[in-house]
Amino acid sequence: MSQALRRGGGGRLARRIDGDVAGLLALLAVVVALFGVAAPGFLSLGVFTSVAFQLPELGLLSLAMLMPIISGGFNLAITFTANLSGLAMAYVLQSHGGADAGLGAFVAGVLAALGTGAFVGWLMGAVIAYTGAHPILVSLSAMIFVRGLGEFLTRGGDISGVPGTVQAIGQGTVGGVPAPLLVLAAAVLLWSVILSRSRLGFATRMIGSNIEATRFSGVPTRRSLTLIYTLSGLMCGVAGIVMLARFNSVRVGHGESYLLITVLACFLGRVDPFGGFGRVLPVAIALVILQVIASGLNQLGANQHLSTALWGGFLLLIMVVRSVWAGGFVQVMFGRR
């Protein structure tokens, strides 16, 4: 029996699983080809570099959203948790000389960011697991709490000025590859292993399908749920660090518009909206597709606000094509579960 099949796919057939990835790759190819023809200069290194630098923020936040969704929940607090984490790091750096802060402060800052994210996630997870309140409700409350806290601490302004070592995470390259992309790749790999191979990943899928039956089988559902949201918060912390490094500043509300796009990326990446099924790789491909569309529209020279509308329209078009063409290969690509 194929390992990939049983691990990630749960109850579906092997060709169907590979179909998920193949279908999304095909869609990516179509999108790239389309913009390649429509927008001269789209197939340039510059565009791909811009994609590579912009993708990680959305990608890291999508990973933060992914595990709660597979567990049958949601984390609506991801963007503000990332802000708060960035803030924690900025504070540590500021108090150690701002732009001149040393390596020790850098490490402390990273730990502060990760710790802040993980704590917010843990808090949410514990409330969800032990009160049984709906994740949407809990994470929405947490979002308001975190945003308010962040606005209070920053007085609504932004904090800027980070040392070059930090900026390198957001703006530098390693062997020609943008550093934030490497961070995302590492995160994707880590999440992939956790979801497909660890006990927690197993529990996440089971809880997403039927938490009561999972509990009856002796799986520690409360501990698992708490851990799922803690990891989600931790990933927000990573996103917060990357955002701080890229913009050399942190402001509460930055990246707010990413929230629903992360949900979209998950669903486009074949994650079951009702929980229980989902893999990291298809979501990663879906992210690339979304980012390529956004950059492509930019390249076409569309007005910035109009391009947002076009982006949404393009996504609607994908859904329509998916449904109209629901047969044969396309069924395999996008067919409803």
Partner 1 sequence: MLQLDRISKRFGGVKALDDVRFDIRRGEVLCLAGENGCGKSTLIKIISGVHRPEPGAVMLFDGRSIEGLDPAAARALGIQVIWQDLALFPEMTVAENIAFESNLGARPRLVRYGRMRAAAARILGRLGVGLDLDAPLRTLPIAQRQVVAVARALVTEATLVFMDEPTASLSQAETDALLAIVRRLSAEGIAVVFVSHRLAEVLEVCSRVTVLRDGRLVGTFPTEGMTQTRLTELMTGKTFDYAVQTRDLSGAPVVLSVEGLSRAPGYADVSLTIRRGEIVGLTGRLGSGRTELALSLFGMAPASAGTVTLEGRPVRFASNREAIRAGVAYVSEDRLQLGLVQPQSISDNTAMAVLDSLLGPGGLVSARRQDALVHAWIRDLGVKAGHPGHAVSTLSGGNQQRIVLAKWLATRPKLLILDSPTVGVDVGARAGIFAIVHRLAGAGMAILLISDEIPEVYFNADRILHMRDGRIVGAYVPGETGIDAIEEAVHA
- Cβ proximity to partner 1: between 221 and 262 the closer is 221
Residues 219/201, Cβ–Cβ less than 8 Å? no
- State the Cα angle at 27 between 25 and 31, rounded to 5°: 115
**Using the rule CB under 8 A, is 11 a contact of partner 1?**
yes
Separation of alpha carbons 78 and 295, rounded Å: 23
Going by the DSSP 8-state scheme, the letter that residue 40 receives in this structure is T
Closest CA to 237 of 139, 67, 118: 118
Residue 25 CB, nearest approach to partner 1 (Å): 22
| Least separation in angstroms between CB 213 and partner 1 | 5
- 78 vs 187, beta carbon nearer partner 1: 187
Query: In 164-210, where does DSSP find H-type helix?
Result: 164-171, 179-197, 199-209
Shortest distance (Å) from residue 1 CB to partner 1: 6
**Binding flags for partner 1, 241-280, as an x/- string (CB under 8 A):** -----------------------------------xx---
Segment lying near partner 1 (by CB under 8 A), choices 170-178, 213-221, 262-270, 295-303: 213-221
3-class secondary-structure state, position 178:
strand
Question: How many angstroms separate the CA atoms of 238 and 183, rounded?
Answer: 9
- Following CA atoms 32, 195, 59, 15 in sequence, which dihedral angle do they give, to the nearest 10 degrees? 10
Q: Which of 66, 20, 18 is nearest to 282 (CA)?
A: 20
* Total of chain residues touching partner 1, rule CB under 8 A: 32
| Residue 205 interacts with partner 1 (CB under 8 A): yes or no | yes
| Site stretch for partner 1 (CB under 8 A), options 45-53, 107-115, 137-145, 199-207 | 199-207
Q: What angle do CA 158, 164, 166 make, to 5 degrees?
A: 65
Q: What angle do CA 143, 267, 225 make, to 5 degrees?
A: 50
Rounded least distance, CB 304 to partner 1, Å: 43
Smallest distance, Å, CB 204 to partner 1?
11
- The residue (of 17 and 61) whose beta carbon lies closer to partner 1 is 17
Q: Please count the other Cβ atoms lying within 10 Å of the Cβ belonging to residue 18.
A: 15
- How many angstroms separate the CA atoms of 167 and 237, rounded? 16
Q: Which residue of 76, 93, 206, 242 would you call a contact of partner 1, by CB under 8 A?
A: 206
Q: How far is the CB of 55 from partner 1 (least distance, A)?
A: 28
Choosing from 94, 173, 210, 331, the residue that interacts with partner 1 (CB under 8 A) is 210
Cα–Cα nearest to 12, from 323, 276, 330: 276
How many CB atoms are closer than 10 A to CB 296? 24
List the interface residues with partner 1, window 217-236 (CB under 8 A).
Answer: 217-220
In the complex with partner 1, which residue's Cβ is closer, 175 or 218? Answer: 218
Answer yes or no whether residue 125 interacts with partner 1 by CB under 8 A: no
| Burial class of 202 by CB neighbour count within 10 A (0 to 12, 13 to 18, 19+) | middle
Q: Which of residues 277-336 bind partner 1 (CB under 8 A)?
A: 277
Query: Which of 37, 197, 312, 323 forms a contact with partner 1 (CB under 8 A)?
Result: 197
Q: Which is nearer to partner 1, 198 or 323 (CB)?
A: 198
- Whose CA is closest to 311, among 295, 322, 325, 324? 295
Residue with smaller CB distance to partner 1, 49 or 210:
210
- Binding partner 1 (rule: CB under 8 A), the pick from 108, 140, 215, 321 is 215
Residues that bind partner 1 (CB under 8 A): 1-3, 5-7, 9-14, 193, 197-199, 202, 205-206, 209-210, 212-220, 276-277
